[in-house]
Amino acid sequence: MNHSLYVHIPFCKHRCHYCDFITTAGRESELPLYADALVKEIRIANQYTEKIPLHSIYFGGGTPSLMALKDYEKVLEAIRQSYALTEECEISLEANPGTIQADYLKGLHALGFNRISIGVQSTDSFDLARLDRVHSIRDVLTSVSGARRAGFRNINLDLIFGLPWQDLESWRNSLQRAIDLQPEHFSLYSLIIEEGTALYRWHQRGLIEPQDQDLQADMYELAMELLAEAGYQHYEISNWAKENDGVDLRCRHNLQYWLNDPYIGVGAGAQGYFEHLRLVNTPGLTDYITRMQGAGGADWTPTNTPATISSEFVDPETRMMDEMMLGLRLIRQGVGAKNFHRRYNASMEAVFEAELNRLVGLGLLEWVGEGESKRIRLTHRGTMVGNQVFMAFV
Ligand code: SF4
């Protein structure tokens, strides 16, 4: 089975007002040390006599585009030497507008990156200022055109909706301007005001209120409409891919998560799911670097690196629940009954009989296809309340 590799780059120029991700601000000078630590953790995979096959590699953050090309060269070399990359391996980088200049983009492409995910968040300057993003609309335009000129044929744009001050019209305009840039892929997220963020403190002080749920639902429906009109296939709750002459432009790396397939995570705060173990690395940047610098001996494996702080076996019952919760996110595809049986030697209809009957009865799930292709998937109504559906399988 093909695997995926996630590499976490927890560095940012500063902390945005809504962000609770595992990242640091103002510590970019430590990036070369961090890259060396990553190389050490990646090389641990060499312990296996047969190399682990990879069909996707994803550098997420943080702001991975803050890392220098020479550091990426080292990290990618370690990956290529330690894993068996498929010929068409998807290699993605998350990038923030304003951090990716033309030469940098060309350098990334020359190193083998073939997908770039740009954290646009909004094309409205008022939104960007309120979210405390460091980039401007001009940066968005130059990033996308620069990526095209560098040779990227698979560009994703991340956008956020449901901002406390946003109305339907401003969301329509923000999304439409992004559509006009003609990326191959969109990831759209509704804003959640997370504890510990500046937005949360404003909310506590009564300065902002979370967006009205009905308006958020209207924004989501509007996005579905606009993106369908523009030729994008809505393939996952929050993700759309262009339908391009039969070329599959869905994010292969994220599909690995939704299909409940194995992935290895390296870096501070990275998580993995490998050999039926849920693995978590230390989130502390200094701790991560120190642990990797002190790593000696040859006893480490990808399921137990010096950075691992938690390793939990996922039993078959939990795996089956995960399969449903994750797989149902795939709107058209859903979860295949035959595939489920092949994986767990159990019938989905029998294991989740009560849940499936109830959700089908409520019009939130539907059975489609027959025989090999029989599968359960969300209805339109179910898509609108996806989280409630997924929680039924916990
Ligand atoms: S750039 Fe992204 S990861 Fe960094 S602080 Fe802003 S939202 Fe968080």
Whole-number pLDDT of residue 317: 96
Q: Are residues 224 and 346 in the same domain?
A: no
Shared-domain flag, residues 108 and 249? yes
Q: CA 325 to CA 392: how far, in whole Å? A: 8
15 Cβ inside 6 Å of ligand 1: yes
User: In 10 A of CB 388, how many CB atoms?
Assistant: 12
Which is nearest to 322 in space by CA: 394, 226, 274? 394
- Largest Cα–Cα separation, the chain: 60
| pLDDT grade for 243, boundaries at 50, 70 and 90 | confident
In the structure, what pLDDT confidence band is assigned to residue 297 with cuts at 50, 70 and 90? low
pLDDT score recorded for residue 76: 98
CA distance linking residue 198 with residue 19, whole number of Å: 8
Q: Per-residue pLDDT for 223 more than 90?
A: yes
Last residue of a domain, one of 240, 256, 272: 256
Q: Is residue 306 part of a domain?
A: no
Mean pLDDT, the chain, integer? 95
Asked if pLDDT for residue 77 goes beyond 70, the answer is yes
Residue 284 maps to a domain: no
- Name the closest-CA residue to atom 7, ligand 1: 19
Say how many domains are in the chain: 2
Q: What is the structure's pLDDT at 48?
A: 84
One domain for residues 53 and 175: yes
Q: Do residues 209 and 336 both lie within one domain?
A: no
**pLDDT of residue 339 exceeding 70:** yes
Q: Are residues 246 and 324 in the same domain?
A: no
User: Are 161 and 190 spatial neighbours (Cβ–Cβ below 8 Å)?
Assistant: yes
pLDDT of 63 reads 96
> Does residue 326 sit within a domain?
yes
Average pLDDT, integer, range 35-62: 94
Find the domain containing 53 and state its range. 3-256
Last residue of some domain: 256, 283, 305? 256
Is there a single domain that holds both residue 135 and residue 232? Answer: yes
Q: What percent of the chain has pLDDT over 90?
A: 94
Residue 353's domain is classified under what CATH number? Answer: 1.10.10
**Residue 281 covered by a domain:** no
Average pLDDT score over residue span 214-225: 97
Q: Do 368 and 238 lie in a common domain?
A: no
Q: Are residues 180 and 54 in the same domain?
A: yes
Whether 76 is covered by a domain: the verdict is yes
What amino acid is encoded at 70 in this protein?
A: K
pLDDT of 91 strictly over 90: yes
Q: How confident is the model at residue 299, as a pLDDT?
A: 82
Mean pLDDT value of segment 10-33: 95
Beta bridge partners of 3: 54
Question: Between the CA of residue 174 and those of 140, 161, 167, 188, 216, what are the distances in Å?
Answer: 12, 9, 11, 12, 15
- Which residue out of 8, 13, 15 has the highest number of ligand 1 atoms within 8 Å of its CB and is therefore the one to mutate? 15
Lowest-pLDDT choice from 24-38, 246-260, 295-309: 295-309
247 pLDDT band, cuts 50/70/90, is: confident
Is pLDDT at 244 greater than 80 in this prediction?
A: no
Decide whether any atom of ligand 1 lies within 6 Å of the 117 Cβ: no
* Whether residue 16 has its Cβ less than 6 Å from ligand 1: yes
137 pLDDT band, cuts 50/70/90, is very high
326/71 Cα distance (integer angstroms): 34
pLDDT band at 246 (very low <50, low <70, confident <90, very high): confident
The residue among 230, 256, 282 that closes a domain is 256
Whether residue 279 lies inside any domain: the answer is no
* CA 104 to centroid of ligand 1, rounded, Å: 20
Ligand 1 atom nearest to CA at 96: 1
Question: Which protein residue has the closest C-alpha to ligand 1 atom 3?
Answer: 62
| Residue 6 β-bridge partners | 58, 265
Same domain as 241, residue 353: no
For residues 251 and 335, state if they share a domain: no
Same domain, 349 and 233: no
**Is residue 31 situated within a structural domain?**
yes
76's tokens:
């990618």
Question: What confidence score (pLDDT) does residue 298 get?
Answer: 66
Q: Tokens at residue 222, please?
A: 């509007």
Residue whose CA lies nearest to ligand 1 atom number 5: 15
- The CA distance from 323 to 393, in Å, is 9
CATH number at residue 16: 3.20.20.70
Q: Does the beta carbon of 319 lie inside 6 Å of ligand 1? A: no
Q: What is the 3-state secondary structure (H, E, C) of the chain?
A: CCEEEEEEECEECCCCCCCCCCCEECCHHHHHHHHHHHHHHHHHHHHCCCCCEEEEEEEEECCHHHCCHHHHHHHHHHHHHHCEEEEEEEEEEEECCCCCCHHHHHHHHHHCCCEEEEEEECCCHHHHHHHCCCCCHHHHHHHHHHHHHHCCCCEEEEEEECCCCCCHHHHHHHHHHHHCCCCCEEEEEECCCCCCCHHHHHHHCCCCCCCCHHHHHHHHHHHHHHHHHCCEEEEECCEEEECECCECCCCHHHHHHHCCCCEEEECCCCEEEECCEEEEECCCHHHHHHHHHCCCCCCCECCECCCEEEEEECCHHHHHHHHHHHHCCECCCCEEHHHHHHHHCCCHHHHCHHHHHHHHHCCCEEEECCHHHCEEEECHHHHHCHHHHHHCCC
Residue 205: the pLDDT is 94
Q: What are 87's two structure tokens?
A: 């010929």
Residue 352 within a domain: yes
